[in-house]
Amino acid sequence: MLLAALLLLPFATATLLLVARPEAQARMLAMASTLVTAVVVLLLWAGYPGTAVTVVDRDWAPAIGLRLVLGYDGIALLMLVLTGLIFPFIIGAGFKQQLDRPATVNALLLYAQSFLFGVFAAQNAFLFYIFYELALVPVFFLLLFWGGEHRRTITVRFFLYTLLGGLSLLFGLAWCVLQTPAPYSADFTALHALRLGTDVQLWLFWALFLAFAIKLPIFPFHSWQPETYTMAPLQGTMVLGGVMLKMGLYGILRFVMPIVPEGVLFWRDLVIWLSIGGALYAGAIAFRQREFKRLVAWSSLSHVGLLCAGLFAWNSYGVSGALYQALAHAVLLVGLLYIVGAVTARTGTGDLGAMGGLKLRTPRLAALFMLVLVNAVALPLTQSFVGEWLMFNGLWQHNGWMAFAAACTIVLGAIYMLWAYQRVMLGPDSGRPAVADADRDDHLYLVPLIAISLVLGVYPGPVLDLLEAPVQQMLNTLTALN
Amino acid sequence: MSALILTSVLGVLLLYLGVFGNKRLLAPVAVLGLLGAIGVSATGWWMDVPLFAHMVRFDGAATAFNMGMTGLTILLFLFGVDYYARMERDVAEHYALMVFSLTGAFLLTSYTNLLVLFLGIEVLSIPLYILAGGRKNSYRSGEASFKYFLLGSFATALFLMGIALVYGVTASFDLGRIQEVAEAQGAAPSPLFLLGLFFIAIGLSFKVAAVPFHFWSPDVYEGAPTLVTAFMATVVKMAAFAGFFRLVHLTGLPPALANTLLAMTVLTLFVGNIVALRQTNFKRLMAYSSVAHTGFLLLVVLGNTAASTSTLFYYTFTYGLATVGLFVVMTLVKRAANGSEEVRSFRGLYQARPWLAITALLLLLSLAGIPLTAGFVAKYQVFLLALQAGFLKTTILAVAMALVGIAYYIVVVREAFTADEQPLEVQVTPLNGLVVLLCGIAVVALGVWPLQLP
């Protein structure tokens, strides 16, 4: 019941916004909708019995293996919570960074939210795929309508790149479905029960993994990401980086690891090195960026590389660390992007070289920026520290050199982030006309985000408890394999 | 069978209405007549017996195809009310010829005898040669008609030659008898028999515009009046594929021929999609995308599994719905853009008519195969079917080509949703709006509740 509300409420609100077009009240309506879904998500969490829950289970189109199966386990619930909690902030960013035609903007955002809930609640691979692709459509229009320079080209390139992964997933999916006993089923339970031959798993791994590697993205499938993140409107980047990226992570856990475990065992060192190598590379590039938003885009790429590496360490530290870090990354990215928006609005430029000395005029904003930043550099007692510490441990268990390289990306991250802070806030006053300091709205936006990161940094227990059982269950397949 | 008779009479009736100059009555009579044909077909669903001395057999699949094609023709006639209102000259022939062509299509879906197949193809095609040249004063329309006629006749000649060769080996036109002979010959069929079937397949490949027999389609699509183009892209394609599949299904293909056709499928998928990427004219784009869809459909025909009939019907019907809707939208845009058929002229559609643009979006997404539209389910079924049939590599190619397909459709979407400096003055008559909306709704409804033939 609650789960159905999660899917339907944003969808209904979005349709209302699109049909009635109440431009003046659009933001408030969307905000109300996301706040309600946030509460619903928390209720869902409170009522979670500790084992996988199936809410709906009925036939839809049996001929193609499509069934309407909705439910969640600990991992899915974490993703639902993430989506539910982050979206009020994404909508909230629209109050400061106003785009024209707010009804349409918010409708598209809410459609995206509804489909994302669908992705995380689907227990049928086909249903997952449908939501996975549908979530792309509102984002496509968000980028096409409100994107920055070269939006027409970049949007189409982004769309095609992502669909390349999508179609490869569809192919892998179709192949797997045909391996299930007749009548074919695409339910996760049926797919996870498959025992495919080793040689098959070796190639099938790439068919399934490619989709999520592009979605995350990890090196060398990342080329769409920086330009898309930079070009997208602020809220679009928040959706892409804050939530949609986590579909990749979730997909790896749902498709790749249970269906082709031997493929994972075979390829995982390659994937980890690609991820960490990509993370180092992205970190180095972020270091060289002059544009603030582009820097955040590359830093996100660096963080995601580490995340994927942690996941493929494939032990309980690595996997739960990656999942924990997914939540941290969403909170962090939304906060950082908001700061980017706030700073850009005040200085009128996104160029780091042209900024500087902002702290003298906006001490409060500087303080908020610093508090968001400590999460970005994974200072102890922040959420990122917990996640990165766990992933680091996980990688250490797998291979010491990998852990070392991962630690390097963390150091690199600290350097470019702090340097960015320095270039924006410190230094001599660049002599701009008076700019306003962070006002009540800015505080209302950033303080909850900072609070989440600090509270979960000090007390990660509830989230980790959520992950323990499903992660353990997943790792058991690995033990059985060895 | 009653539908066959009904449409023949309807065509004659429409011609007479033209003689008496009753232009306003044409569309209502035609639409009512076709609705009647759908009703008659539906009631005949259970009457699955050979008719006319084992010449035709209206089984479930044939009836479904007939109803689907008639439905699409009705949509086209509704569009025709406004389309033909702008032609000052007599238009009764256009309606009548299209109904005659539909009659030929009925024969193609239901034949059990090669002679009826030939008859069906000719009855289907000859009106089309005339219709393609429907705009008398247009040079390109004439060119389209002539080109189609010339190449079509050539294909027909080969086709007849093929029938003759097959008859020479089997001494029969009956598909059942031909299958018996094919089975008796086993793994090593006689060369004459192979050659005969090969020629027949070429004739049919020409009709479905498979590479390398596709060269007529871009020119004919571009030159023919839009309504006729839409008719060719939808009803004719559906009929030709129904005919093709019936041949493969009822006789079975010798392996050598199946491999040749598979190679043709690969070519069609590749050429259709890649060349479509380069098109800037919307009609040519639709022509090449139609070639591309032929590639996917050929996979279904060659797969020949239990689900093939259903998939073929579902794919062609939903493809037809999306195509009809898009051609209506294109006609409206073309009028607003001073006769330009370029994809570029779609720019500003969302500004001018948001609902038209959103419906067009749904239709394009369906053609591209994005989930929750019928096109997605259709493509997925094709992939499943091809994998089941064991075409692993071809399926991978098809998946890759589906991505290329998305690329050229999404460009149209992008144009329609990009604001233009000059507003596009699109006028939508209620009837045209209804047709587009019906197509849009049907495409989504069929995507959410996929239709399955029994």
Indicate whether A47 and A101 sit together in one domain: yes
The pLDDT value recorded for residue A166 is 93
A282 lies in the same domain as A250: no
The residue ranges of every structural domain in chain B are 253-454
- CB-CB under 8 Å, A137 with B370: yes
Inter-chain residue contact A170 with B403, CB threshold 8 Å? no
Question: What was the pLDDT predicted at A52?
Answer: 86
Kindly state whether B371 is in contact with chain A, defined as any CB-CB distance less than 8 angstroms: yes
**What is residue B257's three-state secondary structure?**
helix
Q: Cβ of B387 and A178 within 8 Å?
A: yes
Q: Establish whether the linkage from the previous residue to A22 is cis, with ω within 30° of 0.
A: no
ipTM, interface predicted TM-score of the complex: 0.91
Outline where B209-254 has alpha helix (H): 216-223, 226-231, 237-251
Mean pLDDT of B321-341: 92
Is residue A63 predicted with pLDDT exceeding 80?
Answer: no
Residues A168 and A193 in one domain: yes
Calculate the dihedral angle through the C-alpha atoms of B47, B53, B54, B58, rounding to the nearest 10 degrees: -30
Show the tokens assigned to B15.
């011609």
Q: What is the pLDDT of residue A312?
A: 93
Compute the nearest-CA separation of B420 from chain A (Å): 12
The pLDDT tens digits of the residues spanning B3-28 come to 888 999 999 999 888 888 777 888 88
**Is residue B288 within 8 Å of residue B233, measured between CB atoms?**
no
A174 closest CB neighbour out of B380, B407, B449: B380
pLDDT of residue A62: 79
Provide mean pLDDT across the span B305-334: 93
Do A167 and B403 lie within an 8 Å CB cutoff? yes
Q: CB under 8 Å, gap of 24 or more: what pairs does B64-68 form? A: B64/B313, B64/B453, B65/B109, B65/B238, B65/B239, B65/B242, B65/B313, B65/B316, B66/B3, B66/B37, B66/B41, B66/B105, B66/B106, B66/B109, B66/B110, B67/B38, B67/B41, B67/B42, B68/B238, B68/B313, B68/B316, B68/B317, B68/B320
Residue A18: list chain B partners with CB under 8 A.
none
Q: What is the pLDDT of residue B292?
A: 95
Non-local (6+) Cβ contacts of A35 within 8 A are A88
A155 reaches B (C-beta below 8 A): yes
Tell me how far apart the alpha carbons of residues A99 and A141 are, in angstroms, rounded to a whole number.
13
The token pair that represents B426 in the structure block? 């699109």
How far is residue A448's CA from residue A335's CA, in Å, rounded to a whole number? 10
Q: Which of A21, A59, A67, A156 to mutate to test the interface with B (most CBs of B within 10 A)?
A: A156
The arithmetic mean of pLDDT across residues B321-335, rounded, is 94
A133 contacts B403? CB cut-off 8 A: no
Number of domains in chain A: 2
Based on the fold, state whether residues A116 and A239 are members of the same structural domain.
Answer: yes
Question: Residue A433's pLDDT is what?
Answer: 67
Q: How confident is the model at residue B84 (pLDDT cuts 50, 70, 90)?
A: confident
Contact assessment for residue A200 and residue A267, using Cβ atoms and an 8 Å cutoff? no
Task: Tell me which residue range forms the domain holding A30.
Answer: 1-259
Residue B183's Cβ-count burial label (10 Å; 0-12, 13-18, 19+) is exposed
Which residue, of A209, A240, A259, is where some domain finishes? Answer: A259
Same domain, A409 and A337: yes
Residue A482 has pLDDT above 80, yes or no: no
- A253 with A272, same domain: the answer is no
Is the pLDDT confidence value at B88 over 70? no
Please report the pLDDT score of residue B270 as a whole number: 95
In this predicted structure, which of A178-182, A201-205, A244-248, B36-40 has the lowest mean pLDDT? A178-182
**Backbone phi and psi for residue A59, each to the nearest 5 degrees, phi listed first:** -70, 150
The rounded distance, in Å, linking the Cα atoms of B407 and B396 is 17
Average pLDDT for A231-244: 93
Residues A240 and A272 in one domain: no
Q: Which residues contact A422 (CB under 8 A, 6 or more apart)?
A: none
Q: Which residues of chain A have a CB within 8 Å of the CB of B371?
A: 129-130, 133-134
Please state the rounded mean pLDDT for residues B379-406: 92
Rounded Cα–Cα distance for residues A391 and A406 (Å): 9
Look at A177 and B380 and tell me if their CB atoms are within 8 Å.
no
Size of interface A-B (CB pairs under 8 A): 69
Q: A152, B372: Cβ pair inside 8 Å?
A: no
Instruction: State how beta strands B56-57 and B50-51 pair.
Output: antiparallel
Say what the pLDDT of residue B187 is: 74
Would you call A156 and B407 a contact, using CB atoms and an 8 Å cutoff?
yes
Q: Does one domain contain both A237 and A313?
A: no
| pLDDT tens digit sequence for A79-115 | 999 999 999 999 999 888 788 889 999 999 999 999 9
Name the token pair of B369: 């195969």
Is B411's Cβ below 8 Å from some Cβ in A?
A: yes
Mean pLDDT score across all residues of chain B: 90
Does residue B327 surpass a pLDDT of 80?
A: yes
Find out whether B140 and B252 touch, Cβ atoms under 8 Å.
no
CA distance B70 to B57: 18
Distance CA B147, CA B220 (A): 7
Structure tokens at B65: 């195809």
The 10s digit of each residue's pLDDT in B32-72 is 999 999 998 888 776 777 777 788 888 888 999 999 999 99
Compute the half-sphere exposure of residue A377: CA atoms within 13 Å on the CB side of its CA: 16
> pLDDT band at residue A148, thresholds of 50, 70 and 90?
confident
Are the beta carbons of A78 and A463 closer than 8 angstroms?
Answer: yes
Q: Return phi, psi of residue A57, to 5°.
A: -155, 95
Residue A473 has pLDDT above 90, yes or no: no
Last residue of one domain, picked from the residues A242, A259, A276: A259
Q: Are residues A118 and A135 in the same domain?
A: yes
The enclosing H or E element of A68 equals: strand A66-72
What local confidence, expressed as pLDDT, does residue A432 receive? 66
Interface test with A, best of B313, B380, B446 (most A CBs within 10 A): B380
Residue A270 touches partner B, C-beta closer than 8 Å: no
Instruction: Return the pLDDT at B204.
Output: 92
Same domain, A324 and A444: yes
- Give the separation between CA B147 and CA B133, rounded to whole angstroms: 10
pLDDT value for A431: 64
Q: Taking all residues of chain A, what is their mean pLDDT, rounded to a whole number?
A: 90
pLDDT over 70 for what percent of chain A? 99
Residues B262 and B386: their CA atoms lie apart, in Å, by 11
The amino acid that residue A7 corresponds to is: L
| Position A156 pLDDT exceeds 80 | yes
Spell out the residues 6+ positions from residue A408 whose beta carbon is closer than 8 angstroms to its own: A280
Residue A64 has its nearest CB partner, among B410, B417, B450, at B450
Residue at which a domain ends, from A201, A232, A259: A259
Q: What angle do CA B448, A7, A128 make, to 5 degrees?
A: 60
- Put simply, whether A145 touches B (Cβ < 8 Å) is yes
A160 touches chain B (CB under 8 A): yes
**More confident of the two residues B274 and A355:** B274
pLDDT band at A158 (very low <50, low <70, confident <90, very high): very high
Select the residue from A141, A167, A210 to test the B interface by mutation, using most B Cβ atoms within 10 A: A167
Give the pair of three-digit tokens for residue B171: 């001494």
Look-up of token digits 């058929």: B341
| A95 and A124 both lie in a single domain | yes
Examine the pLDDT at B445 and tell me if it is beyond 90.
Answer: yes
CA distances for A245 relative to A119, A144, B190, angstroms: 12, 19, 59
Instruction: Between B453 and A242, name the one with better pLDDT.
Output: A242
Cα separation, B439 vs B427, whole angstroms: 19
Question: Do A246 and A303 fall within a single domain?
Answer: no
Using the predicted structure, report yes or no on whether residue B375 has a pLDDT greater than 80: yes
For A271-324, the pLDDT digits (tens) are 999 999 999 999 999 988 889 999 999 999 999 999 999 999 988 999 999 999
The length of chain A is 482
Q: Report the distance separating Cα A281 and Cα A311, nearest Å.
A: 19
Q: Which helix (DSSP H) or strand (DSSP E) does residue A369 occupy?
A: helix A363-376
- A406 alpha carbon, distance to own chain's centre: 20
pLDDT at A287: 87
A185 touches chain B (CB under 8 A): no
Q: Tell me how far apart the alpha carbons of residues A34 and A14 are, in angstroms, rounded to a whole number.
A: 11
CA distance B272 to B218: 11
Whether B414 and chain A come into contact, CB under 8 Å, resolves to yes
